[in-house]
A and B are shown apart, each in its own frame.
Chain A
Amino acid sequence: MASRSATSLFDPAIARRAAIEAFRKLNPRTLAKNPVIFVTEVVSLGVTILFLRDLITGNGEALFSGQIAAWLWFTVLFANFAEAVAEGRGKAQADAMRRTRSDTRAKRLVDHKHLDGAFEEVNALDLKVGDIVLVEPGDLIPSDGEVVAGIASVNESAITGESAPVIRESGGDRSAVTGGTMVLSDGIKVRVTAAAGSTFLDRMIALVEGAERQKTPNELALSILLSGLTIIFLIVCVSLWPVALYSGATLSVTVLVALLVCLIPTTIGGLLSAIGIAGMDRLIRFNVVATSGRAVEAAGDVDTLLLDKTGTITFGNRMPSEFIAVSGVPEQALAEAVLLSSLADETPEGRSIVALAKSRYGLTEMDLSQAGATIVPFTAQTRMSGIDLKGRSLRKGAVDSVLASVGLGDGGGPPDFRAAVDKIARTGGTPLAVAENQRLLGVVHLKDTVKPDIKERFAALRAMGIKTVMVTGDNPVTAAAIASEAGVDDFLAKATPEDKLAYIRKEQQGGRLIAMCGDGTNDAPALAQADVGVAMQTGTQAAREAGNMVDLDSDPTKLIEVVGIGKQLLMTRGSLTTFSIANDVAKYFAIIPALFLATYPELGALNVMGLHSPRSAILSAVIFNALIIIALIPLALKGVPYKPIGAAALLRRNLLLYGLGGIVVPFIGIKIIDLAVSTLHLA
């Protein structure tokens, strides 16, 4: 996979821009979308006014209220900064993409009925859907479209980051081209399918910039929890004033505000949108583009993965696993015959047979150009191929055809030969018979080779509670054999696109969420029906429109990682929420005794941290509350690491780390800050 250049977490350029952006985000209209931070801003403003009053009246409170006000503003700014850094990382990528798009010229056919007609040069932005453009070597493709004539190799690195060129041709499943990519050789004519401003590149730019960002369902639900907690703590702080008065303590607005801001979940409130943006960003760095944040969340919830056999579970082509000689024929002789008969076979199967013969039997390739070699190519009629040389006639092919060529009927041949053929067919493989000069030598076992590490990956998925389903056009026998070898939970044999769609519907009826990937036009309905549909970048336009994610590397195995990224996004939110709420315990132990020490000296017993003075305690809690946001930005951007160890173990681990950690860390943090504050005589 070609990964995008990794931006370091605090790239100085991004940090600088984010710092400026943090101030711009103070605009209350922007902040109102984030209730927790909005409340913080409002009360910061209040305390600032009090600070000014203290400064003018000179009542000796100014140092304290000034510092509190400053740290409250820092809390808001740090939250804004977190969001700006997350956005900034996306912007840096978007700028690079935008450069490829600006001032592209297009050669538009004057009359799009005549493909051979004249063309005129226009600005790419003036193209309309349905226009046909000519793209020649060295030209950028001006917009998304479909190749209507010609074949070309195209460099799509602007989109995928992968520099190896890909072939695009008219008709079939490789006809889609993307605006902003460059034609390297030959010329193609492309029908424009996207209007200016809504091309794939445009959408991608908007997406990485976070411009189209809307709160996702889960983010919304979490915001409600946070708003609810904010209201609860508002009630707590407001009602504390009369109760304190009853107890003989007059609380200043400054300390009540300090208490409020420490209690409301500013940590998660400040980092929430950064987490969401970073989640999308992680996916993009992974070369998968999601059309919405909702799709990323859905990925975390997936229960069933529908995986195409070919390319995902097995290598795309069949490979030989063994050569089985009939009795009386030495295995080495069979191997040599196989090697010779396959030398001219340029198909991947043929090449892999040669490779096996060489590696396992130590044979060497011979030069076919030497005298007397006649190549017998494969035809649909003979269903065999081979070679004639120096009186040797070697043939390899479908079992019945080879049997017929050696004068044996269907089902003939020695018993050990039959046994080998049957066994291969039973396990889902393909037997190829080999004969030399009318004599049957043996059989080659061709099989779909399961990718080496795939079984472990499916086991990991099972541990996450995700069911894997293999989809294949093979017959049920073959499918079952491969399914058991790869360790998938279920398979769909002889699958038509309708079968896929029906399977997805059935699973969804049972309340499960389905993810699948596909590339062909016939996959489009299923991609649209699935909760997470990943279309391959190399696929057709229809498939790319139907899915809610596009994989730029066109690697179907990535579906598994996409699920992990979705889970990571949700986990990061949950863990930081827990951390944020758990923090409040320590803050109470800092602030409550500080508020009432003068009235009830007995409450000094609650000052378990041994903080220096009431004021230093309150100030330290507020400072901790602001600094923890900055401290957690890296975690919010990188995400809480996800390990496929099952829900219970995962929960235990995160609970220990973020729940217990959330209780303990602030006790230590506030104590250290208090030491600093009292040493510097700030309070």
Chain B
Amino acid sequence: MTVLGWLQILLVLVAVVAAAIPLGRYIAKVMSGERTFMTPVIAPVERVFYALSGVDAKREQGWRSYTLAMLAFSAAGLFSLYALQRLQGYLPLNPQGFDGVDPALAFNSAVSFITNTNWQNYGGETTMSHLTQMAGLTVHNFVSAATGLAMAFALIRAFTRSEAKTIGNFWVDLTRGVLYLLLPLSIVLALVMVAGGIPQTLLASVEATTLEGAKQVISVGPVASQEAIKELGTNGGGFFNANSAHPFEGPSAWVVMLEAFSLLLVPVASVIAFGRLVGNWREGRSLLATMGIVLILGVTVLYAAETFGNPILTALGVDGAAGNLEGKELRFGQALTALFSVGTTGTSTGSVVAMHDSFTPLGGLVPLFNMLMGCITPGGVGAGIYGILVLAVITVFVAGLMVGRTPEYLGKKIETREMKLAMLAILIYPLLVLGFTGVSVMLKTGLDSLNNSGPHGLSEILYAFASTTANNGSAFGGLTGNTLWYNTTLGLAMFFGRFAYVVPVLALAGSVAVKRKAPASVGTFPTDGPLFVGLLLGIIVILYLLQYFPVLALGPIVEHFAMLAGKAY
């Protein structure tokens, strides 16, 4: 680790917080329908959308109809995106002349993009036409992120209201999220990226003559526009297979720093918006501190593990002082790689600048554990907030009892129904991750996709299911996902990881909204201070450590001890 490396990391983090504070205020206004400086420009467009779709923006929905709207919208997205991929061979804007995408892969990719996962079992430049990329994938990059944002603010609203039957209007939340937030930010960011060297063209490729005189075909396309929303919407689906490690997605260190900044920006700003909306910025601060501590711990472990290097390689004569550089871009280095990898898995982005498969065992454990926790540090757009709120509810319940009162969070009593819904949401992750991993290691078809055997092979499979279930989408690498088995199971993991989780969350919103808001007193368990941060951290770590310790012991942990003993698998 170097001072310069840490300065790089801190620079990005400080910039994120500095930018997130005003942006958070803006998001709070946008999501509560207040007037902002963008209103004069966007409101007319917004009204056109409502008029065309027949939405009454003034009418709010109860949690059931909110949920149904969200599910209907996602289902429509799923089917249309599947159809678009299958039919791309007959559609325009297909300069490379790609055929329709294979059914299993099209299902996987469609689920992947409507759930904000952006797991890619395909190579973009070799599978998807420009039309599919722009009208399909990029559109869903926007709306799946806005869907997450909508659900998060429905839950936040529920906590701010007292004895309310409604939690907002899904169509309004969705529209405002895209029009006021994601679209303007993406336009600005895409232009900056173009300036930074990322291509934006409808051409399929350019030809270059190498120094040896050979002809080289280099794929290009409308990259910058997708790149911007890829990070801002915590999507992570790259235009190219190599994602941000590709020189056209991450051309230089400063662009990658900008990308790391962009992927953290909206999640962090949403937490600040949460604090404003619940009327106590300290509540937001304590959640943000919790997320921040996990994030910085993750960066530290990853950075330390990678600079410590691999004693086996050192023994073979590789310069140990440089640490582990396998699978990394030298133009980013270990510090930036550590920050980006932790950021991309702490949010549900999943874009990568390095091969996570090539990290040291402990280094690889960090992004893996980030996703096993459900990507909540600071989480995907919207998903981070509702994810951590569910955990806060559980924390408050356990800890609140210890102060001798029926636990309450933000003035809402946490009772049987809330616990039922929170536990239901929490349960779905281990069921999907451990269940599918358990079955995959038993099947020949599951093991055939592996590059490695032993503990590392287990990590590869576990990583894939952790990534898809948490709707992250980053790939460890080393696992061939484009098979019938993985296309299907990973698709199911993404689908249920999103919808089986958010339906209880929206039900929780409905249940919390109708409760009367109780004022806080000295006898109330305080949730806006360091004590709560410590508790929330404790619950998160203990809850997830207990769930995944056995399987992690057989994966990265044993690999780590084996590496120290000079043994490789």
Binding site for B on A (CB under 8 A): 217-218, 220-222, 224-225, 227-228, 231-233, 235-236, 238-247, 259, 263, 297, 300-301, 303, 462-467, 510-512, 566-571, 573-575, 577-578, 581-582, 584-585, 588, 592, 596, 600, 602-603, 605-606, 642, 646-648, 650-652, 654-655, 658-659
Contact = CB atoms under 8 A, between A and B. Distances in A.
Q: Across chains A and B, which 4 residue pairs bring their CB atoms closest together, nearest first?
A: A465-B523, A574-B401, A567-B404, A228-B423
Contacts of A588: 546, 549-550
- Which of B394, B426, B529 gathers the greatest number of chain A CB atoms within 10 Å? B426
The secondary-structure label for the interface of chain A is helix
Interface residues of B, number: 68
14 contacts: A235-B435, A567-B404, A575-B402, A577-B398, A578-B398, A585-B546, A600-B561, A600-B562, A602-B561, A602-B564, A603-B561, A606-B553, A647-B405, A647-B522
B211 interface: no
A650 B404 contact: yes
Given A511-B518, A570-B406, A600-B562, A465 B441 contact: no
Interface of B: 162, 394, 397-406, 411, 414-416, 418-420, 423-424, 426-427, 430-431, 434-435, 437-439, 441-442, 447, 454-455, 457-458, 516-519, 521-526, 529, 531, 535, 538, 542, 545-551, 553-554, 557-558, 561-562, 564-565, 567
A584 B545 CA distance: 10
A301 B458 contact: no
Contacts of B398: 225, 574, 577-578, 581
Given A225-B394, A602-B558, A240 B550 contact: yes
A239 B435 contact: yes
B446 to A, nearest CB: 9
- Which of B401, B404, B431, B435 gathers the greatest number of chain A CB atoms within 10 Å? B404
A380 B19 CA distance: 80
Contact of A642 (B404, B406, B454, B531): B404
Contacts of B557: 603, 606
Nearest to B567: A602
A243 B562 CA distance: 18
A510 B521 contact: no
A511 B415 contact: no
Nearest to A464: B523
B546 A242 contact: no
A444 to B, nearest CB: 41
A236 B424 CA distance: 16
B434 A236 contact: yes
Contacts of A241: 438
B546 A224 contact: no
Contacts of B162: 511
A574 B398 CA distance: 6
Given A242-B442, A592-B549, A655-B535, A571 B403 contact: yes
A573 B557 CA distance: 35
Contacts of A246: 441-442, 447, 457-458
Given A602-B567, A647-B525, A245 B404 contact: no
B430 A232 contact: yes
Contacts of A605: 561
A326 to B, nearest CB: 49
Given A220-B416, A574-B400, A650-B403, A303 B427 contact: no
Contacts of A221: 397, 414-416, 418-419
A651 B414 contact: no
Given A303-B521, A463-B522, A242 B439 contact: yes
Given A245-B442, A301-B405, A600-B455, 17 more contacts: A222-B401, A225-B394, A227-B423, A232-B426, A236-B551, A241-B438, A242-B438, A247-B458, A466-B523, A510-B518, A573-B401, A574-B398, A575-B401, A588-B549, A600-B561, A602-B567, A654-B403
B403 A218 contact: no
A244 B554 contact: yes
Contacts, number: 210
A228 B418 CA distance: 13
Nearest to A238: B438
Contacts of A244: 554
B419 A224 contact: yes
A647 B549 contact: no
A593 B222 CA distance: 52
Contact of A465 (B415, B522, B538, B549): B522
B415 A217 contact: yes
A247 B416 contact: no
A253 B551 CA distance: 17
B526 A648 contact: yes
A578 B458 contact: no
Nearest to A660: B538
Contact of A224 (B401, B416, B547, B558): B416
A603 B553 contact: yes
A462 B522 contact: yes
Contact of A243 (B399, B441, B522, B547): B441
B547 A303 contact: no
B524 A647 contact: yes
Contacts of A577: 398, 401
B546 A263 contact: yes
Given A225-B398, A301-B406, A600 B558 contact: yes
Contact of A647 (B434, B438, B523): B523
A466 B411 CA distance: 16
Contacts of A658: 402
A239 B442 CA distance: 11
A240 B552 CA distance: 11
A232 B531 contact: no
A568 B404 contact: yes
Contact of B438 (A243, A596, A650): A243
Contacts of B394: 225
A231 B406 CA distance: 24
A570 B547 contact: no
A209 to B, nearest CB: 26
Contacts of B434: 235-236, 239
B538 to A, nearest CB: 7
A511 B524 contact: no
A51 B516 CA distance: 55
A592 B426 contact: no
Contacts of A606: 553, 557
Contacts of B538: 659
B427 A231 contact: yes
B399 A574 contact: yes
A466 B521 CA distance: 8
B547 A232 contact: yes
Nearest to A653: B402
A592 B553 contact: yes
Nearest to A247: B554
A511 B455 CA distance: 54
A507 B420 CA distance: 29
B397 A651 contact: no
A236 B438 CA distance: 10
Nearest to A259: B550
Given A221-B397, A246-B442, A510 B522 contact: no
A648 B397 contact: no
A512 B525 CA distance: 15
B516 A511 contact: yes
Contacts of B551: 236, 239-240, 243
Contacts of B415: 217-218, 221
B435 to A, nearest CB: 6
A582 B526 CA distance: 22
A642 B77 CA distance: 55
Nearest to A466: B523
B255 to A, nearest CB: 40
Nearest to A652: B531
Given A510-B519, A605-B561, A236 B550 contact: yes
Contacts of B423: 224-225, 227-228
B517 A511 contact: yes
A259 B524 CA distance: 37
Nearest to A662: B542
B522 A239 contact: no
